[in-house]
């Protein structure tokens, strides 16, 4: 078959190039995009998304582009005042240039207006029992907050305020959901339990509005501290999951709720110099000799940590 216009051989009565010259293959109505002047988010449909300007314009073009049904669009390129649409029609690959009427309107998104109004629904507090927070704990908490906020773009998903107090740190979040998510993730990452409470804040349209507090209590004991749990002396192996080892039997123990006996940095250091079935002889770094209950894993020459509890001296191998 030959094209009725140019005579080119093909499968259609008119070839794609000739058809494209005589018909409108693509059309763009004028587009208005809304952009938040505070955070730079763009509005699409009901939601707001954080994307760069170029992606936002492309998305706006893509959503508004009207094409002739037989025109299979493969790609488009946004230029300053026009869009070049490329695709195939009637056996030919064609590009058409169509005018672009785009306006970006600057408004304040609901999220930013809430944030600037000081709105918050949740406080996440992190406290450690009888000690201050360690830098690593604060850093991991910050990272978690950053990550979760980066993945959320709900209207109330913002951090209003961060406060460092004598007893710990507080995060104020716009939404309860973020507070819940963050507190759970922090407890999973650095250990501890979450206590949740709510307080009536106000009433809106006859509905009670609460503010939630998620308190994360980190345990006092850290790795290698010695604790007492159910009358048994244990060394904390993993404070995050509250796992410990009983120093005499080597049995694995859950140490949640245990009482702290000795901090790692306050313990003495020594070497096992002699052993019998129930007693180990230990020499500390100052040359003093102690007799202690034989700990699990004891071997002559092994390095041990030494501590006192109820007027007795105990020791356990460093690699327990
Ligand atoms: Zn033709
Ligand atoms: Zn905004």
From the CA of 21, the nearest ligand is 1
| 294 and 244 in a common domain | yes
Task: Please report the pLDDT score of residue 258 as a whole number.
Answer: 84
* Contact partners, residue 276, CB within 8 Å, separation at least 6: 294
Domain span at 212 = 110-218
Residues by chain with Cβ below 5 Å of ion ligand 1: 3, 5-6, 8, 15, 18
**How much distance in Å is there from the Cα of 14 to the middle of ligand 1?**
5
Please identify, among 166, 195, 218, the residue that sits at the C-terminal boundary of a domain.
218
Q: What is the pLDDT of residues 64-73, one digit of tens each?
A: 999 999 999 9
Using pLDDT thresholds of 50, 70 and 90, give the confidence band for residue 138: very high
Using pLDDT thresholds of 50, 70 and 90, give the confidence band for residue 163: very high
**How much distance in Å is there from the Cα of 16 to the middle of ligand 1?**
7
From the CA of 39, the nearest ligand is 2
Q: What is the pLDDT of residues 6-30, one digit of tens each?
A: 999 999 999 999 999 999 999 999 9
Q: Whole-angstrom Cα distance, residue 317 to residue 225?
A: 13
Question: The domain that contains 308 carries what CATH number?
Answer: 2.40.50
Task: Please report the pLDDT score of residue 220 as a whole number.
Answer: 79
**How much distance in Å is there from the Cα of 65 to the middle of ligand 1?**
26
| 294 and 210 in a common domain | no
Classify residue 10: in a domain, yes or no.
Answer: no
| 214 and 194 in a common domain | yes
Q: What is the pLDDT of residues 255-290, one digit of tens each?
A: 887 888 999 989 999 999 999 999 999 999 999 999
| 210 and 242 in a common domain | no
Query: Comparing 134 with 184, which gets the higher pLDDT?
Result: 184
pTM of the predicted model as reported, rounded to 2 decimal places: 0.62
Residues 109/35, Cβ–Cβ less than 8 Å: no
Please identify, among 45, 78, 107, the residue that sits at the C-terminal boundary of a domain.
107
| 146 and 62 in a common domain | no
Task: Please report the pLDDT score of residue 268 as a whole number.
Answer: 94
| 199 and 176 in a common domain | yes
| 127 and 204 in a common domain | yes
Instruction: Using the Cα atoms of residue 263, residue 264, residue 265 and residue 268 in order, give the sign of their dihedral.
Output: positive
Please identify, among 218, 253, 279, the residue that sits at the C-terminal boundary of a domain.
218
Residue 159 has pLDDT above 80, yes or no: yes
Residues 126/141, Cβ–Cβ less than 8 Å: yes
Classify residue 5: in a domain, yes or no.
Answer: no
Q: What is the pLDDT of residues 71-119, one digit of tens each?
A: 999 999 999 899 999 999 998 999 999 999 999 999 998 888 888 888 8
Task: Please report the pLDDT score of residue 134 as a whole number.
Answer: 86
What's the chain's average pLDDT? 92
Write a three-state SS string for the chain: CECCCCCCECCCCCCHHHHHHHCCCEECCCEEEEEECCCCCEEECCEEECCCHHHHHHHHHHHHCEECCCCEEEEEEECCCEEEEEEEECCEEEEEEEECCEEEEEECCHHHHHHHCCCCCEEEEEEECCCCCCHHHHHHHHHHHHHHHHHCCCCCCCEEEEEECCCEEEEEECCHHHHHHHHHHHHHHHCCEEEEEEEEEEEECCEEEEEEEEEEEECCCCCCCEEEECCEEEEEEECCCCEEEECCCCCEEECCCCEEEECHHHCEEEEEEEECCCEEEEEECCCCEEEEECCCCCCCCCEEEEEEECCEEEEEECCC
Classify residue 46: in a domain, yes or no.
Answer: yes
Using pLDDT thresholds of 50, 70 and 90, give the confidence band for residue 175: very high
Classify residue 9: in a domain, yes or no.
Answer: no
Q: What is the pLDDT of residues 184-232, one digit of tens each?
A: 999 888 877 899 999 988 887 888 888 999 999 887 788 899 999 989 9
Q: What is the pLDDT of residues 298-315, one digit of tens each?
A: 999 999 999 999 999 999
Count: domains in the chain: 3
**How much distance in Å is there from the Cα of 182 to the middle of ligand 2?**
21
Classify residue 7: in a domain, yes or no.
Answer: no
């Amino acid at each position: 078959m030959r094209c009725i216009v140019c005579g080119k051989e093909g499968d259609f009565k008119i070839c794609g190039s000739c058809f494209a010259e005589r018909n409108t293959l693509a059309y763009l109505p004028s587009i208005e995009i809304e952009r938040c002047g505070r955070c730079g988010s763009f509005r699409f449909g009901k939601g707001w998304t954080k994307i760069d300007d170029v992606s936002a314009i492309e998305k706006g073009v893509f959503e508004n582009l009207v094409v002739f049904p037989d025109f299979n669009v493969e790609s488009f390129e946004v230029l300053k005042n026009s869009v070049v649409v490329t695709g195939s029609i009637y056996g030919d690959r064609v590009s058409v240039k169509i005018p672009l009427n785009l306006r970006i309107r600057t408004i304040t998104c609901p999220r930013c207006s809430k944030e600037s109004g000081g709105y918050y629904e949740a406080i996440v507090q992190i406290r450690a029992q009888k000690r201050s927070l360690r830098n690593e704990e604060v850093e991991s908490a910050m990272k978690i907050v950053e990550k979760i906020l980066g993945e959320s773009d709900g209207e109330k998903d913002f951090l209003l305020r961060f406060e460092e107090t004598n007893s710990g740190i507080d995060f104020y979040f716009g939404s309860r959901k973020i507070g819940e998510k963050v507190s759970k993730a922090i407890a999973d990452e650095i250990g501890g339990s979450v206590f949740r409470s709510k307080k009536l804040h106000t009433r809106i349209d006859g509905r009670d509005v609460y503010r939630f507090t998620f308190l994360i209590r980190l345990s006092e004991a850290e790795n290698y501290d010695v604790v007492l749990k159910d009358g048994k002396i244990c060394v904390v192996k993993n404070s995050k999951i509250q796992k410990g080892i009983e120093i005499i039997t080597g049995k694995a123990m859950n140490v949640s709720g245990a009482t702290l006996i000795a901090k790692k940095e306050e313990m003495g250091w020594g070497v096992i110099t002699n052993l019998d079935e129930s007693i180990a002889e230990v020499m500390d770094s100052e040359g003093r000799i102690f007799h202690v209950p034989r700990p699990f894993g004891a071997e002559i020459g092994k390095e041990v940590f030494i501590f006192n509890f109820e007027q007795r001296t105990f020791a356990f191998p460093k690699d327990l």
